[in-house]
Amino acid sequence: MKVPNVPQKYVSYHGQHTYMTTLKEQLYQLCSQYISTREADIKRMIADVRDAIANETKSSAGDKYETSREMMQQDIDQHLARLNELHKMRQTLDQIPATHTAATVMPGTVVYTNNGNYYIAISAGPLTIDSTKYYAISAASPIGTQLMGKTVGATIMLNGKSFVVGKVV
């Protein structure tokens, strides 16, 4: 199993490039960017729907008008629910120390396994640092719950696949 050195410099997230100091700080920052980007997108969608509601004129077909407005309001409600979930993710991320090291898997640790590298924080998907892929996962995710509390050498099984912990940072 290839385990890259911890100090890194070059970070990439969906085409955005950043320079940071340590691996954990880089992963933490990418998770924060993930939340911020999604929040901005959702706020823009809410504004677009609100503009559409404001610009819609009432026609003689009153029921059609009311149905259209109700559907747009439901869109806003769905976007607000997603925004609330992102707020919860931000709170979870804010609780994670960016530089803490531990011998056991816990929120904020980076776990290297024979089947991928994982940052236990929030579910932000794959993140790439210096050409190495890390999966930002929640401690509450299926693999996160199984990895929590494990140490180097521990093995977990998930969906018929064996994961051996090679390093915990």
> Per mean pLDDT, which of 42-46, 68-72, 74-78, 134-138 is the most reliable?
134-138
The total of structural domains in the chain comes to 1
pLDDT of residue 71: 87
* Domain annotation covers residue 97: yes
Whether the CB-CB separation of 169 and 110 falls below 8 Å is answered with yes
28-42 pLDDT, tens digit per residue, is 999 999 999 999 999
d(CA 93, CA 134): 16
Task: Give tens-digit pLDDT for 155-166.
Answer: 999 999 999 999
Whether residue 94 is contained in a domain is answered as yes
What is the domain range of residue 76? 10-168
State how far the Cα of 121 lies from the Cα of 30, in Å rounded to an integer: 11
| pLDDT at 67 (0 to 100) | 75
In a domain, 89, yes or no: yes
Task: Please state which of the ranges 41-55, 75-89, 100-114, 117-131 shows the lowest mean pLDDT.
Answer: 41-55
Asked whether the predicted pLDDT for residue 3 surpasses 90, the reply is: no
2 found inside a domain:
no
Coil vs helix vs strand at 85: helix
Whether 149 is in a domain gets the answer yes
